[in-house]
Amino acid sequence: MRREAPQKLSDYGPLFFPAMMLIVFFVVPFATMIAVSFFQRQQGGFYVPAFQFANYERFLSLFFANVLGFSLMLAVTVAICCVVLAVPFTYLLTRMKRKVQIAWLVALLSVLSLSEVIIGFAWSTLFSRTAGITNLLVMAGIMSEAKALLPSFGAVLTGMVYQAFPYTVLVLYPALVRLDPTLTEAARTLGASPIKAFFTVVVPALRNTITATLIMVFIFALGSYLLPQLLGRPQHWTLSVLITDQAIYQSNMPFAAAMAVFLVLVTLGLVALTVLAGRKGETA
């Protein structure tokens, strides 16, 4: 079947519904947020329409730069951990029998059905001193005394990787299933070990998929709000936590909106950079 460019207005018909949805549920709210970010906050009240940069000025401080920097670093770390774990996992998964694959995918999908709250509380119990996994280590004689593993950066990272891992696998899975098995076979017949074949053939062949997955997990992790609170100390709180504080607890919508706009801009900038770097790599 040949793909033709739309000829008549009615050919665009099927686009109408998704476009409307996108406008109503994305463009309008986002535009509202941008508008509010320029409004004037009334302390002890709400806000009044205005056009001023005060909300952005307040954000431009070392304190918020640190929080933003930490949020980005956390999201990048989560993305890298997820991809490093998920690529070999998914590769091995696609080599398994169909029944085994289905069982794994169902298990991963069921993790997706868990809410962030449940994941957070489950990990906080697992990492606790009184009921956590260190008690098992004590029983096994590996540790002398049970101790709390949270709040800590490691706990936040574990929780977030656990949450994002199923997404990562599900994004990688279609590409890896379609990967031509003759590629690795050729590498093997030419004398490469399975591990060498994986790194020199499979990974490069999947470069674009991996980049796209990294970006997806990064953005997913950037919005995390609950797990850093449940599993981390205040210095592990992301910008999303502070945005929520301003919006819900301080009723400071203009400042919350300004922070959110800033976060979106920085995110888009980083994604654009990644894509650009990827293109340059291809032409080289």
Partner 1 sequence: MTDFLKQNIGRRAVLGAGLAGASMLAMPSILRAQDKSLKVGVYGGYFKDSFDKNIFPDFTKATGIAVEAIAEPTGEAWLVQLDQAAKAGQAPADVSMMSQVAMLKGQATDLWAPLDMAKIKNGSNLIDRFVNKYPDGRVAGIGAVSWYITLVTNTDIYKEAPTSWQAFWDPANADKLGLLALVSNSFLLEVTAKTFFGGTNALDTEEGVQKAFDKLAEVKPNVRLWYRDEAQFEQALKSGEIPMGQYYHDVTGLAAADGNPVRSTFPKEGGIQDSGCWALSRASTKVEEAHVFIDYMSQPSIQALLSRKVGTSPTVKRELMDLTDAEFAAVSSDIEPIIPRYDLYQTKSDWLNQKWTELIVG
Q: Which residues contact partner 1 (rule: CB under 8 A)? A: 41, 43-46, 63, 66-67, 121, 124, 128-131, 148, 151, 229-230, 233-235, 237, 242, 245, 248-252
Least CB distance to partner 1 at residue 89 (A): 32
Query: For partner 1, which is the closer residue by CB, 197 or 227?
Result: 227
Please say whether the beta carbons of 148 and 128 come within 8 A. Answer: yes
Query: For partner 1, which is the closer residue by CB, 67 or 201?
Result: 67
Least CB distance to partner 1 at residue 241 (A): 9
Give dist(CA 268, CA 263) in Å, integer: 9
Please say whether the beta carbons of 255 and 58 come within 8 A. Answer: yes
Query: For partner 1, which is the closer residue by CB, 117 or 272?
Result: 117
Least CB distance to partner 1 at residue 56 (A): 15
| Residue 246: Cβ within 10 Å count | 20
- The helix/strand/coil state of 283 is helix
Number of H helices, E strands in the chain: 15, 2
Q: Phi, psi (5° rounding) for residue 47?
A: -150, 160
Least CB distance to partner 1 at residue 110 (A): 24
Give dist(CA 135, CA 202) in Å, integer: 41
Least CB distance to partner 1 at residue 267 (A): 21
Query: For partner 1, which is the closer residue by CB, 71 or 90?
Result: 71
Query: For partner 1, which is the closer residue by CB, 38 or 237?
Result: 237
